[in-house]
Amino acid sequence: MKFILQDHKLKLAASTDPDSKPIIALTQIPQPETNPSYSFSQNLQHFLQGRMLLHDELPFPKEQLHEHYENGYIHYKKGISIEKGKSKCTRCGNSSRHQFAAFPCARCGERECLYCRQCIIMGRVSSCTPLLTWTGPQIQRKESVPLKWEGTLSEGQAHASKKVTEAIKVNGELLVWAVCGAGKTEVLFAGIEEALTQGKRVCIATPRTDVVLELSPRLQAVFPDIKVAALYGGSEDRNENSVLTISTTHQLFRFRGAFDTIIIDEVDAFPYSADVSLQRAAQNARKKVSSLIYLSATPNEKWQNECKRGTRPFVTIPGRYHRHPLPVPELKWCGNWEKTLKRRKLPRIVEVWITKRLADQTPALLFLPKIELMEKLLPYMKNFDARIEAVHAEDPQRKEKVQRMRNKETPLLVTTTILERGVTFPGVDVAVLGAEDRIFTESALVQISGRAGRSASQPNGNITFFHYGKTNAMNKACRQINGMNKEAFEKGLIDYVLPGMRS
User: Tell me, what's the pLDDT at 499?
Assistant: 64
- From 330, 289, 301, 284, select the one nearest 431 (Cα to Cα): 330
Q: Find out if CATH 3.40.50.300 is the number for domain 330-490.
A: yes
- Please state, in angstroms and rounded to a whole number, the distance separating the CA atoms of residues 197 and 183: 23
Q: Where are the beta strands (DSSP E) in 202-357?
A: 202-206, 228-231, 244-248, 259-264, 286-296, 314-317, 330-333
155-317 CATH fold: Rossmann fold (3.40.50)
User: Tell me, what's the pLDDT at 503?
Assistant: 38
Spatial contact of 435 and 471, defined as CB atoms under 8 Å apart: yes
pLDDT tens digits in sequence order for the chain, 503 residues long = 889 888 888 999 887 888 889 999 998 899 999 999 999 999 999 999 999 999 999 999 999 999 999 999 999 999 999 988 899 999 999 999 999 999 999 888 889 999 999 999 999 999 999 999 999 999 987 767 889 999 999 999 999 999 999 999 999 999 999 999 999 999 999 999 999 999 999 999 998 888 898 899 999 999 999 999 999 998 999 889 999 999 999 999 999 999 999 999 989 888 898 899 999 999 999 999 999 999 999 998 899 899 999 999 999 999 998 999 999 999 999 999 999 998 889 999 999 999 999 999 999 999 999 999 999 999 999 999 999 999 998 899 998 999 999 999 999 999 999 899 878 899 999 999 999 999 999 999 999 999 999 988 889 899 999 999 999 999 999 999 999 999 999 999 999 876 654 43
State how far the alpha carbon of 396 is from the alpha carbons of 36, 391, 436, in Å: 50, 9, 29
State how far the alpha carbon of 503 is from the alpha carbons of 110, 482, 483, 491, 496, in Å: 71, 10, 10, 16, 14
- Please state, in angstroms and rounded to a whole number, the distance separating the CA atoms of residues 266 and 262: 13
Question: Do 155-317 and 330-490 share a fold?
Answer: yes
Q: Measured in whole angstroms, how far is the alpha carbon of residue 468 from the centre of its chain?
A: 33
23, amino acid identity: I
User: Tell me, what's the pLDDT at 144?
Assistant: 75
The residue extents of the domains of the chain are 2-134, 155-317, 330-490
Phi/psi for 412 (5° steps) reads: -150, 130
SS3 at position 467: strand
State how far the alpha carbon of 385 is from the alpha carbons of 341, 361, 371, in Å: 18, 11, 20
- Please state, in angstroms and rounded to a whole number, the distance separating the CA atoms of residues 185 and 146: 17
- Please state, in angstroms and rounded to a whole number, the distance separating the CA atoms of residues 457 and 74: 55
User: Tell me, what's the pLDDT at 502?
Assistant: 42
